[in-house]
Amino acid sequence: MEILEFTPRPEQYAWTFGGTAPTHRIKPGTVLRLWSDDAFAGRLRDITDLPSAALDARYLNPQTGPFHVEGAEPGDTLALHFVDMTPARSWGASATIPFFGGLTGTDRTATLQEPLAERTWIYQVDSTRNTVTFEARSSELSLELPMAPMLGTVGVAPALGEVRTSLVPDEFGGNMDTPEMRPGSTCYLGVNVEGALFSLGDGHYRQGEGESCGTAVEGAMNTTLVVELIKGGAPTWPRIEDDDHLMVIGSSRPLEDAWRAGQVDMVLWFSELFGLDRLDSYQLLSQTSQAPIANVVDTNYSVVTKVAKSLLPQTQVYGGMHRHLRETARLIAPR
């Protein structure tokens, strides 16, 4: 088992999907132990650090990678199995940023109102209790919330020669901001360019569905994952499999289009897996789908279509890749 550990230096951060030379070439089957900085590139460290002063729009959401996966060609499927995500700092940060977020006018949902006030929250991590602590700024309220590590951003180089900022989610993955991208999950991404060139970042110690204010409990993350390659079978939209669910993440605007994209892909997947025609798949999905919103704050919004395997006929997707990766994961010593 090849294991690669990598902590990028700040000048090695990637800020885009596509357009960046790979930091490493790896073989399918490689285990990666990666450190990623938080979405603020570590610039919000105290409640006195305000976004408008501390942040630079050109340097948000740094990615670790990209990784060139040997043998990956357009039309193939990259499988990324997340073994472990552990906070790499003892604190996480969240903030309201002027004209960014779900409950404010933005550059697109443009209004003439004054922006909401900026504010930064620092969450202390308690690794023993496995919690992060919300400290209200307007009262004495302090609340321990369960840690629930996830990666906001996982993606490959886009199609059509595009280069997209790491703030965008789309068919290539990217900044989907779904809590489903967590340890135990396998993410399937369609490969658009030779080597796939995937990267990851935007660790969240915890995030609500929708990421309402635009930022989660943002934190540097140590992530262990296994990388595999499936020849062919590229899905249109990112898919996630965990022990209990099949998922598709659609990203677009308006929000119903993000939902529609993921739903149609799941209907087609059902038909392929279960030998149903589209109408039967549509019907089955109608009675079994969960539909948790992922984000309503990014350049595209994201919605997860999620179905419990227990409701579906027994099946094996991508040749049993997820089970295989789960078994591989067990062989990896915890860091």
7-26 residues near a copy of itself, rule: CB under 8 A = 15-16, 18-19
Binding residues among 178-197 for a copy of itself as defined by CB under 8 A:
none
- Residue with smaller CB distance to a copy of itself, 287 or 334: 287
57 binds a copy of itself (CB under 8 A): yes
The distance of closest approach from Cβ of residue 204 to a copy of itself in the complex, given in angstroms and rounded to an integer, is: 9
User: Tokens for 308?
Assistant: 């419990």
Binding segment toward a copy of itself, per CB under 8 A, in 24-32, 41-49, 64-72, 104-112: 104-112
Considering only residues 283, 315, 320, 335, which one is a binding residue for a copy of itself as defined by CB under 8 A?
Answer: 283
The distance of closest approach from Cβ of residue 222 to a copy of itself in the complex, given in angstroms and rounded to an integer, is: 21
Considering only residues 88, 284, 321, 325, which one is a binding residue for a copy of itself as defined by CB under 8 A?
Answer: 284
Site string for a copy of itself, 108-137 (x = CB under 8 A): xxxxxxxxxx-x-x------------x-xx
Task: Count other C-beta atoms under 10 Å from residue 4's C-beta.
Answer: 14
The 3 state secondary structure assigned to 133-161 is EEECCCCCCEEEEECCCEEEEEECCCCCC
CA distances from 229 to 29, 68, 164, 187, 319 (A): 8, 12, 23, 11, 12
Question: DSSP letter at 200?
Answer: E
Residues 87 and 298: their CA atoms lie apart, in Å, by: 23
- Residue with smaller CB distance to a copy of itself, 18 or 173: 18
Q: How many residues in the shown chain lie near a copy of itself by CB under 8 A? A: 93
Question: Could you give the count of Cα atoms lying within 13 Å of 179 in the half-sphere of its Cβ?
Answer: 15
User: Tokens for 224?
Assistant: 């262990």
Considering only residues 13, 198, 259, 318, which one is a binding residue for a copy of itself as defined by CB under 8 A?
Answer: 259
Binding residues among 307-326 for a copy of itself as defined by CB under 8 A:
311-313
Q: Angle 290-294-296 (CA atoms, 0-180°, nearest 5)?
A: 125
Considering only residues 293, 317, 325, 329, which one is a binding residue for a copy of itself as defined by CB under 8 A?
Answer: 293
- Residue with smaller CB distance to a copy of itself, 3 or 279: 279
Burial (CB count within 10 angstroms: exposed 0-12, middle 13-18, buried 19+), residue 7: middle
230 binds a copy of itself (CB under 8 A): no
| Tokens 């499988």, residue located | 79
Cβ contact 13:37 at 8 Å = yes
Determine which helix (DSSP H) or strand (DSSP E) holds 197, and give its type and residue range.
Answer: strand 196-206
282 binds a copy of itself (CB under 8 A): yes
206 binds a copy of itself (CB under 8 A): yes
- Residue with smaller CB distance to a copy of itself, 130 or 286: 286
Phi, psi (rounded to 5 degrees) for 262: -70, -35
The distance of closest approach from Cβ of residue 159 to a copy of itself in the complex, given in angstroms and rounded to an integer, is: 8
The distance of closest approach from Cβ of residue 34 to a copy of itself in the complex, given in angstroms and rounded to an integer, is: 22
Cβ contact 304:178 at 8 Å = yes
- Residue with smaller CB distance to a copy of itself, 29 or 146: 146
Question: DSSP letter at 118?
Answer: P
239 binds a copy of itself (CB under 8 A): no
Residues 154 and 164: their CA atoms lie apart, in Å, by: 13
